Amino acid sequence: MRTFGNSLSSIRGAFYVAGALWLVLFAIFLWLDRIHSDLFSRLASSMIYSLGVAWIPLVAILPTCAFALHVDASSVRHVFLDRFVLSRRSLDDLRAVEIATGWGAVLKFEKQKSIRFLGASLSELRSLCLYLSELRPNQISFSSGLAAAGFLALEDQIRKRGSNEEDA
């Protein structure tokens, strides 16, 4: 069985981005506030405003760590906190996987049933598709949104360039 989804370690980059955004916004708010108030209130208000804005992405991404897909040779399970099964579908019924055509991924099964999997990174979703294509070769159709396809193609080019430099 393999598990797909975000973990706290997989969203480490989001924490770095939020921290960098906080520093930039703090400097901007501090500069904008310097004309209107004294130093203490300027620092306090700048920190509050910049923290509020910078941490919005983390508040949106953090809950995605609570959800995962467990895939084995016979089923796909959508789980919450690695304990509670939200839905379970037979792998034999899986017909299509759509990545980033809306929000996240949609696994489509027979009888118009589906599992919506929100928030996983595109790299994680690519791993999911590769694993599913190994389990059921030529039996599942895969599609992705234009932005996801472009990002994954760019990621492939970066990996190829890195492996070519290592070989040289």
Q: What is the pTM of this model?
A: 0.67
> Backbone phi, then psi, for 108, in 5-degree steps?
-105, 130
Q: What is the mean pLDDT of residues 143-158?
A: 74
More confident residue, 68 or 41: 68
- Tell whether the model's pLDDT for residue 32 goes beyond 60: yes
Q: Measuring CA to CA, how many Å separate 36 from each of 33, 47, 68, 120, 145?
A: 5, 15, 48, 43, 46
Q: Which residues pair with 2 in a beta bridge?
A: 71
Predicted local confidence at residue 46, as pLDDT: 67
Two structure tokens written together for 123: 């790299």
Collapsed DSSP state (helix, strand, coil) of residue 37: coil
- Give residue 71's pLDDT: 92
Mean pLDDT, range 114-135, rounded to an integer? 84
Q: What is the pLDDT of residues 13-22, one digit of tens each?
A: 767 777 787 7
Is residue 168's pLDDT more than 60? Answer: no
Lowest mean pLDDT among 36-40, 70-74, 106-110, 112-116: 36-40
Q: For residues 64 and 121, what is the distance between their CA atoms, to the nearest angstrom?
A: 10
* Residue 50 confidence (pLDDT) above 90: no
**For 111, what's the count of Cα atoms within 13 Å in the CB-facing half-sphere?**
4
**Residue 149 or residue 118, greater confidence:** 118
Task: Find the distance separating the first CA and the last CA of the chain, reported in whole Å.
Answer: 37
Using left for φ > 0, alpha for ψ between -120 and 50, and beta otherwise, residue 5 falls in left
Phi and psi at residue 50, in whole multiples of 5°? -70, -35
pLDDT at 86: 92
Strongest mean pLDDT among 1-10, 29-38, 131-140: 131-140
52-100 confidence digits (pLDDT tens) = 776 777 777 778 888 889 999 899 999 988 889 999 999 999 999 888 7
